Chain A
Amino acid sequence: MITAERKPMEELIECLRPYHRILLVGCNECVTVCSAGGRKEVGILSSALQMAFMKEGKTLEVKEMTLERQCDPEYIEELVNQIDQVEAVMSMACGCGVQEIARRFKAKPVFPAVNTEFMGASERPGVWAERCQGCGDCVLGLTGGVCPIARCSKRLLNGPCGGSTNGKCEVDPDIECAWQLIWDRLKALGLEERYEENIAAKDWRTSRGGGPRKIIREDLVK
């Protein structure tokens, strides 16, 4: 999923300061799974914002809505009935959702409530870790199912570097050395010889380096 974390309250209160009536929109997908911006978090943030305003002797009316997701225009359309009654929108979705709301409702200021972080997976309840960088040219088949681009601090394709210690990255002992993981997997699969095949320099055009990307499926385009 795409993971995110709520921005500090100070920052959120500051950007909503000029307003009295806002729409707080959650998302039922990724940010719900990582407990950052789902229906529950909308309720908690709404309460926190209102109390923060009341503390300063002001009121903030918060309309709460949680969409199925915010990255499809059909769901954003559901905000149409609420949008004229508010002065601004705060979205708890990832950056994609925030932008889709802004695109649809050009006359309303839209603010992000969370900092979108990475594409990752759950390690255990309450812990999510980065797994994919969206490089556009997946090499997971070569590396035993562990991604060196996302999980190696130096994104080495022919690692490890000299700083790997006890299976941990030199940068942080909480980060596992991706190349230790890759080697362990290759061993478990009986594919040790693959390690010595040098992987060629990456073509970053398929990644963000080539510019913002787009996928067009001709068979699905209306």
Chain B
Amino acid sequence: MKTESVLEKVFASGELAVTSECGPPRGAVPDKIIEKAKMLKGYVDAVNVTDNQTAMVRMSSFAACVFIKQLGMSPILQMVTRDRNRLAMQADILGAYSHGIDTMLCLSGDHPHFGDHPMAANVHDIDSVQFVQMIRDMRDKGKFQGGDDILNPPKMFIGAAANPFADPFELRVARLAKKIKAGTDFIQTQCIYNIDKFEKWMEDVRDRGLHEKVNIMAGITPMKTVGMAKYMKNRVPGMDVPDEIIKRMAGVPKEKQPEEGIKISVEAIERLKAVEGVKGFHVMAIEWEQKVPEIVERAGLLPRPAIDL
């Protein structure tokens, strides 16, 4: 075992891991994050906390993770390269580890263009691949990126994102290989609606033996309405929503659409369980966290293994 991370232990046990996600509040209101996390307790192994998602300022992921840790849950610190240089990142990693946070997800981050501060400077001192490598070297070599020794090096379980649906499709396996080479321990994919395409990607991943070098978690996001489905199909870059999903959502009356959306997600999970190389599920229910317990239960993913924190 490389770390004390709950997630690492679940993967090692051979059970399918389950994670979910919380977005911190747009203000100094800890109760909001605590409320959301409480809904997930017992239904997931670990919880991602997003970092200024869509480039909108929110309470820092680090601070929100501390609150979640205090609830007796295992937080996953998400960090983007957009807002911090390597000094700030390493400092935050030391700080987070000192608070008992031992799992991270490394991302580039959405461009400020999309957020509430389009006028801000983009940092991108390093990119997500170099970020993974940096944390791996901190953990395994005990050295800062600049070369000096670290006192009590942080033992982080390192995650990264993968999007099997973004362009160029032919590069998506190579990009995964790059991240694995840099030291990624687990991957969370973008939410999956086009299961055929995902299965094709996994086939290529398995061809190269990559599924054995990293723990791949399939991303799942339940649709609430047909409007949401259409929006995600047409307006979100790197998202692949097949027409059948839109048809299914449109085929039921408005009050029944949330239930249909959850049904679709549960069916997806069942289908994905059979895909060799899928080691777990990352259920992202943005502003709909209360439905995660139901999805996890109906998908037969309960009970979660009891791992001492």
Contacts and interface: CB of A to CB of B under 8 A. Distances in A.
B111 interface: yes
A81 interface: no
Contacts of A198: 129-130, 133, 178, 181-182
Given A156-B124, A201-B126, A161 B108 contact: yes
Nearest to A159: B127
Given A158-B129, A177-B167, A163 B110 contact: yes
Nearest to A204: B125
Q: Determine the interface band of chain A, counting residues with CB < 8 A from chain B.
A: 20 to 34
Which of A157, A162, A165 has the largest number of chain B CB atoms within 10 A?
A: A162
B250 interface: no
A111 interface: no
B163 interface: yes
A195 B171 contact: yes
B305 interface: no
Contacts of A199: 130
B178 A163 contact: no
B130 A158 contact: yes
Contact of A157 (B113, B130, B168, B174): B130
Interface in B124-162: 124-130, 133-134, 145, 161
Contact of B237 (A159, A163, A179): A163
Q: Is the interface of A mostly helix, strand, loop or mixed?
A: loop
Contact of B238 (A157, A165, A179, A202): A165
Contact of B161 (A162, A166, A202): A162
B120 interface: no
A156 B109 CA distance: 11
Nearest to B162: A162
B221 interface: no
A200 interface: yes
Contacts of B230: none
A164 interface: yes
B279 interface: no
B233 interface: no
A174 interface: no
B298 interface: no
A162 B181 contact: no
Given A154-B82, A158-B127, A195-B174, A170 B133 contact: no
Contacts of A157: 127, 129-130
A104 interface: no
Interface in A115-160: 153-160
Contact of A165 (B82, B125, B133, B167): B167
A155 B163 CA distance: 19
B215 interface: no
A51 interface: no
A170 B111 contact: yes
B12 interface: no
Given A157-B127, A204-B125, A162 B111 contact: no
A170 B127 contact: no
Given A154-B122, A156-B124, A162 B177 contact: no
A92 B301 CA distance: 68
Given A160-B171, A195-B174, A171 B127 contact: no
A32 interface: no
A204 B146 CA distance: 13
A161 B175 CA distance: 9
B71 interface: no
B124 A154 contact: yes
Contacts of A201: 86, 125-126, 130, 133-134, 145
Which of A159, A161, A172 has the largest number of chain B CB atoms within 10 A?
A: A161
Contacts of B109: 154
Nearest to B112: A171
A180 B113 CA distance: 20
Nearest to B113: A171
11 contacts: A154-B108, A154-B124, A157-B129, A160-B167, A160-B175, A162-B161, A179-B171, A195-B174, A198-B130, A201-B126, A201-B134
Interface of B: 81-82, 86, 108-111, 113-114, 122, 124-130, 133-134, 145, 161, 163, 166-168, 170-171, 174-175, 177-178, 181-182, 190, 237-238
5 nearest CB pairs, A to B: A158-B129, A162-B163, A201-B130, A156-B127, A170-B237
Interface of A: 153-167, 170-172, 177, 179-180, 183, 195-196, 198-202, 204
